[in-house]
Structure 1
Amino acid sequence: MAEILGDVSHDSVNRFLLRERYEPKDLFNIVEKIINLVGGILSVDDTVIEKIYSDPKNAELISYFWSGKAHKTIIGLNLITLYYSDINGNSVPINYRIYDKKEGKTKNDYFREMVSEIISWGVKPRIITGDSWYSGVENLKFLKNQKLGFSIRD
């Protein structure tokens, strides 16, 4: 890190990260300048960031999650992301959540919440894609009520 940042110390980076609180809207505020908000494809996916040396009892947000890559439950962080590909071929992450079991929400709850947010931010996707995890009736009714096309696959 010192080679990249030059005179910026590791401690000052840590203090900065502890001082700031970034939200999904902060990400959107950066990427909205480089995308066409109308007519693109919105894709939902989640990934488990493995944290094999972390103890879920002592680390907030660390828990046991099913990993499609590992084909088993592993210890880690579950990151849910909405990616947007606009009609000009620009693809960016546009919204995200880190799964927090203490909130009592499901990945599907987060998905609907995130889609509602990006719509309120002015994004008008043509279609939503995702894997079968997001194919529940509640999600499909939600997308239909939002007048959004969808293609959910295995």
Structure 2
Amino acid sequence: MGFLLCEPKSATCTHLSELSDISHDRVNRFLQRENVAPKDLFLEAAARLILEGGTLFVDDTVRDKPYTHDTALVGHDDSGKHHKTVKGINLITLYYTDMKGYNLPVNVRICDPADGKTQNDYFVDRLKQVLA
């Protein structure tokens, strides 16, 4: 579930199955059957990753919501795509790329404007969780 929620390019059971060497039908059945958290899915995928010598990197993404009424999670954030401030939902995602080039999200957080935290604060929180 975590992979499918935060994969920025190809969030499909087929793409996850290609990365994990499991059939997409099996991934789909698993997601329908289980109540999984992102950590559960990462632990499942971790057995297929080389967890030494890889790279951990952060991505902040703004999911544009220009027509959404103001809600708790919709804020105004800088967008690299639009090169200006846009209305949307801001996500901070940590990705791990192993020595074979497999890339999986390992932690994701929706930034809540009410928290009063900066993107750097969210990044440090995510990093501490991954390294714990």
TM over 0.5: yes
Q: Deviations over 1:101-134 (max 9, x none)?
A: 11222111111111111111xxxxxxxxxxxxxx
Shift of 1:54: 0.6
User: Are 2:70 and 1:53 equivalent residues in the alignment?
Assistant: no
Name the SS for the 1:109 alignment partner: helix
Task: Give the TM-score of the pair, scaled to structure 2.
Answer: 0.67
Match of 1:30 in 2: 44
**Who is 1:131 aligned against?**
none
RMSD after superposition: 2.1
Aligned 1:10-21 pairs, distance under 5 A: none
1:112 aligns with 2:124: yes
Structure 1 segments unaligned to the other structure (5+ residues): 1-15, 121-154
Aligned pairs (5 A) from 1:139-154: none
Aligned partner of 2:90 in structure 1 is: 78
Partner of 1:44: 58
Give the counterpart of 2:74 among 62, 67, 71: 62
**Structure 1 residue ranges, 4+ long, deviating more than 3 angstroms after superposition:** none
Report if aligned partners of 1:50, 1:74 keep a CA contact under 8 Å in 2.
Answer: yes
Name the structure 1 match of 2:12.
none
Count of equivalent residues: 100
Q: Does the CA contact (< 8 Å) of 1:27 and 1:95 recur in 2? A: no
SS at match of 1:34: coil
- Greater Cα radius of gyration, structure 1 or 2: 1
Identical aligned residues as a percent: 45
Asked if the contact 1:82–1:95 (Cα under 8 Å) also holds between the matched residues in 2, the reply is yes
In 2 relative to 1, CA 102–83 (structure 1 residues): closer, same or farther, beyond 3 Å? same
Q: How does 1:120-139 map to 2 (within 5 A)?
A: 120=132
Check conservation: 1:63, 1:77, Cα contact below 8 A: yes
Three-state SS of the structure 2 residue aligned to 1:25 is: helix
- Residue 94 of structure 1 aligns with which residue? 106
